[in-house]
Chain A
Amino acid sequence: MYRYDEFDARFVSERVEQFRYQVERRLSGELTEDEFKPLRLMNGLYLQLHAYMLRVAVPYGTLSAAQLRKLAHIARKYDKGYGHFTTRQNIQFNWPRLVDVPDILAELATVEMHALQTSGNCIRNVTADHFAGAAEDEIEDPRVLAEIVRQWSSLHPEFSYLPRKFKIAVSGTEQDRAALKFHDVAVQIVKNEAGDVGYRVSAGGGMGRSPYIGHVVGEFVARADILAFLEAVMRVYNQSGRRDNIYKARIKILVNALGADEMRKQIAREFEEIRGTGTLQVPRNELERIAAYFAPPAFEELDDTSAEYEAARASDPGFRAWSDINLARHRAPGYAIATISLKPIGGIPGDCSHVQLDGLAEIMEEIGLDEIRVSHEQNLVLPHVRKADLPALFAGLKTLGLATPNAGLITDIIACPGLDYCDLANARSIPIAQRISERFGAQERQREIGELKIKISGCINACGHHHAGHIGILGVDKKGTEYYQLMLGGSGAEDASIGDILGPAFGEHEIVDAVEDVVGLYLERREPGERFLDTYRRLGSDPFKERVYAAH
């Protein structure tokens, strides 16, 4: 994985001191809360319902064992013993004290981590496919570009006071695990007919109050030009994005108002000018320098089957279930990609205790794994596990309570922190996720239902990606009472779609039954091989509406 050189290291440690001075001025009263707010947000510090919340960046979701240990230490020393992994591959701590935050950041800097731009109206932490470097159909590891973008966007002098937040995601495969089409800007690594590698850039996707799927604005941007192209997109947005209404300030609204053609024209104009100066070209040696850090580990030449693995599958039904569900195909024979579910049945999606963080670091060191990933689905991923090591991994995970076999199943729920923590929320998300998880928690039942992605947000800001859920749930407030809207047919994958609102919202004691009705109809009407999403797309919403509202 990427390692800081002296320049990166000094940059991050000076940024810590810069923030320390901002905190001092806030504590002394020199800065008002209103003035301090954009400064603290640009360093990931929120003021939530009960306390400050610090969101630490996990660039493109990649962590080392040493970094996990540091996160465990921070959870223990400065927080209540746990952290929460988010849908943007970051980790947040819910209970830090303001006076401690500069010290927390200084501790993070010792393991090459920071909280730069995890909030605020700036270019946010860059996300990437969590199977990067391991996926079979990958053209190139997307983290190389993500790191280049991370550096370019860090304290960008022109784009730190944008109309609104700006999220960039990168993927190197056709299969989309990074929800590309719902990002402000998405970069897909592609090959053209001549076999050259370049970038397909789209802009204007997003969730929130008005969800949109992004438009392609650059069909094939050459490698060396990508930062010039991104700078052009940003400049058009910074100049023309709306600033009069927070709900209309994202780039998706601008793209939609101008139309994709006009947007492409304006970008092209800026792009020509920026490229003309030549200063933003990505030189080949810099690309190679960064790419070298992301070179895959030297895979051993192995048979694709492993005796230890097969023996454990034969003797241990628990291991067999876990390996059926939580493993994905790796590009190297004899290896697997293992998903570590942070969705224990009835638990809080994305939460991880300091014991678990430390325990994972220990497992990684024992098995010899250099890196772990955070997925936008709020799980962790070990990208390169030898199949022969899987039984030992499973045993370790079981001890830590991290061996839930439900990756991609109905209890693998995305949920935002909701009204239990968040200042913006209208309704709780976590208890709804917990009850759905309990209702469908039986292993046979989950497997019978198959792939089904439930995503829950506690307000229209859509941090829980409800628009992109096969089943999406949106918490709303009606005169002080929490209600939940049901949405069906969304997808955050390469077949991206925005879910349809089924009808009137449900009370908190009705919503789980409504989900069960939806699932029940699917099981009755599905054709062989159909996932929930396929059946919904074939049938449309009417039969689901009839079923759900007839019963309630």
Chain B
Amino acid sequence: MPLIKDGDFADDTFESVADNAPMPANGSIVSLARFLKDKEALLARNAPLGVRLQSSESPATLVDDVHRLSMVALEFPKFRDGRGFSWARMLRARLGFEGEIRAVGEFLYDQIAFMHRVGINAFEVRESFTLDEYRRALDEMSYAYQPSTDRRVTIRELRAEERQTHTA
């Protein structure tokens, strides 16, 4: 599937590896179960490693190792399942993860802006998806009320700025 990362199409340098398959030489994504089982061996390899979390799997279990991972893929099994939005914020805010957070699975165009706001920076998209659509999704709403992982200036901060300009 095409990958959009940090605002542009990008090559996917990670190969998804089944739980019982041999590890390839390059970057790879494994399930949380496999990661927890073979952690030391997997991290000792000299290749980027990603972990794929199902929506029922909290990233809290990664707390000690997250900095040694290159990416975390959050699975959206159906677009109604919104746990990934909390997992992304937990990864960024609580665990301080700075690598790639990738949305995979069944999500909608209309969820991309929310995903971007909670710290997801890579998206596996359908073949026909265009960059214009991606940009449009992020531009539909100019303002946001809540502070979030994206550190976007909130409406409240804009109001405070305005007050200062008026009083200056």
Contact = CB atoms under 8 A, between A and B. Distances in A.
Interface of A: 5, 7-8, 10-11, 14-15, 17-18, 21-22, 35, 38-39, 121, 151-152, 154-162, 235, 238-239, 243, 273, 277, 279-280, 283, 285-286, 289
A283 B85 contact: no
A239 B86 contact: yes
Contacts of B83: 238-239, 243
A285 B80 contact: no
Nearest 3 A/B pairs, CB to CB: A161-B82, A157-B117, A279-B147
Interface in B142-168: 142-148, 155-156, 158-160, 163
B85 A159 contact: yes
A10 B159 contact: no
Contact of A35 (B82, B108, B156, B163): B108
Contacts of B81: 161, 243
Contacts of A235: 86, 89
Nearest to B111: A161
Contacts of A8: 155
Majority-rule SS of A interface residues: helix
Contacts of B25: none
Contacts of A156: 145-146
Interface in B39-86: 58, 79-83, 85-86
Given A121-B80, A158-B85, A277 B141 contact: no
A160 B114 contact: yes
A285 B163 contact: yes
B93 A273 contact: yes
Given A121-B80, A158-B118, A289-B159, A14 B140 contact: yes
Nearest to B150: A157
B130 to A, nearest CB: 13
Contacts of A162: 82
Contacts of B144: 155, 157
A18 B58 CA distance: 32
A12 B144 CA distance: 11
Nearest to A14: B141
Contacts of A18: 140-141
Given A14-B141, A35-B108, A151-B145, A158 B86 contact: yes
A280 B143 contact: no
21 contacts: A7-B155, A7-B159, A11-B145, A14-B143, A15-B141, A17-B140, A18-B141, A35-B79, A35-B108, A39-B110, A157-B117, A157-B148, A160-B82, A160-B114, A161-B80, A162-B82, A239-B83, A243-B83, A273-B93, A280-B146, A280-B147
A7 B158 contact: yes
Nearest to B136: A21
Contacts of A285: 160, 163
Contacts of A152: 145-146
A159 B145 CA distance: 13
B158 to A, nearest CB: 6
B80 A38 contact: yes
A154 B81 CA distance: 19
Interface string B77-116: 0011111011001000110000000000000101101110
Nearest to A18: B140
